[in-house]
Amino acid sequence: MKKIAIMVGILVLVVSIFSAPLAVGIKVGEPTGLYVRNYMGNNHIGFTAAWSFSHNSFDLYGDYNWIYPNLLQGIDFHYGLGAVARVREESFNVGLRFPFSFNYDFPQVPIVVFLEVAPGIGIIPDFKFNIGGGLGFAYKF
């Protein structure tokens, strides 16, 4: 019964996340790759699957972001907390990241453009400071 309750909870979470408005696009910088954003009211969850040229690794990011709307005319400020998994040929790293970004939603077309800076802390295999970020755009569905 406990396993069934857990599976139902996970299913409800997945359905609620993916029934919200979605944006898909590209982020260029450190790292460079595919970006997916799932809006949930005044917040969003962002996922990135990308290649890091400076670390020669495949990176997976998952961030929860809060939105401060209209910081400047039409420009929103986003800040959040996320996790990163970095896979290299010889190692696997896990850490936390703290993304900050400025976002502009075009009023006439469903496109968002963003500029992100994300300081982070490597946790596994050792503690290490790092920083990433980039410029991206996404098409909103």
The pLDDT value recorded for residue 71 is 84
The tokens of 54 are what?
């400076």
The pLDDT value recorded for residue 90 is 87
Place 41 in a pLDDT band, splitting at 50, 70 and 90.
Answer: confident
Q: How far apart are CA 81 and CA 64, in angstroms?
A: 6
Q: Which CATH architecture has domain 22-140?
A: Beta Barrel (2.40)
Tens-place pLDDT, residues 23-36: 999 999 999 999 99
For residue 75, pLDDT over 70 is answered with yes
Q: Under 8 Å CB-to-CB from 114, ≥6 apart: which residues?
A: 78, 101, 102, 103, 104, 135, 136, 137, 138
Place 54 in a pLDDT band, splitting at 50, 70 and 90.
Answer: confident
